Amino acid sequence: MKAHFLMFAHYNAWANRRLYAAAGALADADRRRDAGAFFGSLHATLNHLLVTDVIWLARLRSIQGPPWGLDHIAHDDFADLTAAREALDDDLIAHVRDEADPAGTIAYRRVSAPDPVVQPVAEALAHLFNHQTHHRGQCHAILTRIAGEAPELDLLFHQREAAS
């Protein structure tokens, strides 16, 4: 099971690099324009993904995460956001490879609710990577609408590239 999640950690980093490269080609105003996504703009959606991954990685490590809301803008500057995303993706890969025990459990409290939560690590990792895919799809749609095209992000393309 660990190999399964490690593949998703690598896919996650690959897809984020492709998405950020395409987003970086846009004008800053286009990245910040409300595009009707759940978090509004491409910039806000990318921040949401970073914020949630920081929170989940803290939970997976059994440490207190930041008290951010899910709409928190962790990095207003796109270059800073990109650098933070790349570092976080590297950290997620390292965590899954070296620390995560998919058979274990984690315990945490959400910022929005005081009740303690105990959850299997495998379920938390599945959520983290599925959540990324969900919101990257929104980012892909925004990019397609603004730029007329967006990069291929399908897992199958990552797997073929990794195999070659």
Please say if the pLDDT value at position 112 is more than 90.
no
Q: What is the CATH number of the domain that holds 151?
A: 1.20.120.450
pLDDT tens by residue, 113-159: 889 999 999 999 999 999 999 999 999 999 999 999 999 999 999 99
Q: Which domain holds residue 15?
A: 2-163
**pLDDT the model gives residue 123:** 98
Q: What pTM did the predictor assign?
A: 0.95
- Percent of the chain beyond pLDDT 90? 94
Instruction: Judge whether 135 is annotated as a binding position.
Output: yes
Instruction: Judge whether 48 is annotated as a binding position.
Output: yes
Instruction: Judge whether 4 is annotated as a binding position.
Output: no
**pLDDT the model gives residue 42:** 98
**CA 83 centroid distance within chain:** 13
What are the start-end ranges of the H helices in 25-154?
28-32, 42-60, 78-98, 121-147
User: How many domains does the chain fold into?
Assistant: 1
pLDDT tens by residue, 69-85: 999 999 999 999 999 99
**Residue 40 pairs with which residues in a beta bridge?**
37
**pLDDT the model gives residue 114:** 81
